[in-house]
Amino acid sequence: MIIYVKIPSSERIKLSLQMKIDSLQQEVDEKMDELEIIDIENEYKDYLNLVHTYNDLKDAGQKIIGILAVNKGVTSRELYKDFDLNIDD
């Protein structure tokens, strides 16, 4: 025996909308799980550390070029040309 229950149309609309909301929420949750969430603060700190390391290495390289220039009796600019380096870099 099958019993049919008549649901008022406003209730059917609410039920339909709730089902749609639930479906969309599930889709959003799945997409969020696929995203790679990054920690901006740590990324920024890592970036700054890399910049500091780069600057330290560049300074060391410039000191070496300066020492070579003094030993050869030429300017650093001339050594940059000899080593095919960009003076503005």
What's residue 35's pLDDT?
Answer: 82
CA atoms of 83 and 61, how far apart (whole Å): 12
Q: Is residue 31 part of a domain?
A: yes
What's residue 12's pLDDT?
Answer: 78
pLDDT in tens, 17-58: 899 999 999 999 988 888 877 788 889 999 999 999 999 999
Angle formed at CA 36 by CA 32 and CA 38, multiple of 5 degrees: 120
Q: Is residue 88 part of a domain?
A: no
What's residue 32's pLDDT?
Answer: 86
Q: Is residue 33 part of a domain?
A: yes
CA atoms of 26 and 2, how far apart (whole Å): 32
Q: Is residue 3 part of a domain?
A: no
CA atoms of 41 and 15, how far apart (whole Å): 43
Are 68 and 79 in contact by the 8 Å Cβ rule? The answer is yes
Number of domains in the chain: 1
* pTM of the complete model: 0.54
Q: Is residue 64 part of a domain?
A: yes
What's residue 44's pLDDT?
Answer: 94
Residue 36 belongs to domain spanning: 9-82
Q: Is residue 49 part of a domain?
A: yes
Please check the confidence at residue 1 and state whether its pLDDT lies above 70: no
DSSP letter for each residue of 40-79: HHHHHHHHHHHHHHHHHHHHHHHHHHHHHHHHHTS-HHHH
pLDDT in tens, 67-89: 999 999 999 989 888 888 887 76
